[in-house]
Amino acid sequence: MKIKNIVTVLLVAFILASCAPAAKVVPTETAILTLTFTPVPPTPTITPTPIPTIYIEGQNIPDPRFSNPELFNLEKPSAPIPQFVHALSSAGIEVNAQAVNDSVVYKTVKAKNSDIAILLMTTDFPETSYDEGNTPLLVYMKDPKAGEYAWSATYLKDVASLHNILIGAVYGMSEEIELNKKNKFFTNNFNMATIAWSSVDVPISLMDQNTRYRLRELENENVKEIMWFHLGDEPLDNMTFASKDEAVSYVNSEVDKIVQKYGDKITIANILNEVNPFTKNGWHLWKKFGDDFFVEVYQHVRESLPHTKIIYNESYNYTKSHEGTLYPYSVEVVNALKGHIDAVGMEMHMAQSQWGADTPTSVDEMADIMRSFGIPIYVTELDVNQTYLSGSDQEKNIKQAEIYEMVVRSCVRSEVCEIINFWGQADPYSWYVFAINEPNSKACLFDENGNPKLGYYGVLRGLTEGFVPPAP
């Protein structure tokens, strides 16, 4: 019985054990996991393909067709070559963009600061009557901020900088400023802005409002100078002054009103403008009270604006030989103000009348006159009115471009011209349109869409003076 009972108990225990969960096994030794790493070969160093270079007059420089292919995009209207072709076409000169692209040449130039620059220039097409050559479309030059050389489209201020010339324009109408925001024609081309102040025809409150608006907008522009015009532009000869001191005091007080508001923004100032026997801006007061009338006014301005360049500005003083020239009067005023002004301003509203359109001058005559004053020259009010030019619209565009080139070339050739300032930017906003009601004047460098006209390229050609032979 005992054996039988024992067997039964063992059998039951075995059955219960087989139904229970498996017991957890605790290893007596720690297991070590061994990982096998497959060596990964090092990433090969990628050597960038060098940009091809071109050899130009002793220098190897990056080939712009590889370093800046976007500048040779013939399908993009705003690229340099299509813009040039569009300007030619608007003047009735049909040239193929691919032909321009295939015929460009390179020219090495030396800046006044001895930096070397390379210009990519157009060449002439014999099958057209117009000389398309010697127009710089690209420039390889040192960036003054980065200190490195790079290719870019040629803008007026960049080519002019090779001659140490500032390029400016009147910064005026809000519509023109808004147009610039779309395609940057002011931003790209000008490094000086001009604010024309007039308290004669415009209420002071409106003048202040417009001026504050323009100054706010100029904060977004990279301008080096702001030139102010007509600070003392009052109808002085309509007023009666008992003495020189009273006349001086009046002019000084009028200037002070502007200086107190905007003095920190004025870097170049024109005070008494166009003082000659035919205007009412002080000539007779000067003759009545003598040189001291002028000198005391300009001394006061110098004290009020010690860091500002002071200029005397006159119209039609760029020729000696033509009837009606104001050059002799300009010389007389400048001699009275020697030591009190920093530069002479030359207004150049070319072809302003039928008489002006038919009265030619020359590069050498203008350059000689610029040098004759013995101090720096600022071309202050440059435009070319098409109203009185003869011929078709296309012929007027060509004539306008030739006149622009002539003036700019004379400025560069003189070697005393430090500023070229355009009296307007885009055609619809020219002073001829809103002040004189000449809608067909088309006097500016840019059209109604802000595209450069043939006159723009005339300016660029003029800026190559000293770099390539003058156009015949």
Domains held by the chain: number: 2
Same domain, 185 and 93: no
pLDDT score of 219: 95
pTM of the model: 0.88
For CA atoms 217, 223, 225, 230, give the dihedral sign.
Answer: negative
> Has residue 420 been placed in a domain?
yes
The predicted-structure confidence for 378-428, as pLDDT tens digits, reads as follows 999 999 999 999 999 999 999 999 999 999 999 999 999 999 999 999 999
Same domain, 133 and 184: no
Which positions of the chain have pLDDT values less than 70?
1-49, 199-200, 233, 468-472
The predicted-structure confidence for 178-201, as pLDDT tens digits, reads as follows 999 999 999 999 999 999 887 667
Which CATH number goes with the domain that contains 449? 3.20.20.80
What Rg value do the Cα atoms of the chain yield, rounded? 36
Give 236's DSSP letter.
G
Same domain, 133 and 238: no
> Has residue 151 been placed in a domain?
no
pLDDT score of 318: 95
Place of tokens 């993009």: 76
What domain range includes position 129?
Answer: 53-141
The predicted-structure confidence for 282-325, as pLDDT tens digits, reads as follows 899 999 999 999 999 999 999 999 999 999 999 999 999 888 89
Same domain, 130 and 168: no
Same domain, 184 and 133: no
Same domain, 312 and 271: yes
440 touches 384 (CB < 8 A): no
pLDDT score of 39: 61
- Please identify, among 141, 171, 186, the residue that sits at the C-terminal boundary of a domain: 141
pLDDT score of 36: 52
Same domain, 124 and 199: no
pLDDT score of 168: 98
Task: Tell me the C-alpha distance between 383 and 432, whole Å.
Answer: 10
- Please identify, among 111, 141, 171, the residue that sits at the C-terminal boundary of a domain: 141
DSSP line for 150-175: EEEE--HHHHHHTTT-EEEEE---HH
Same domain, 173 and 269: yes
Same domain, 163 and 259: yes
Same domain, 240 and 386: yes
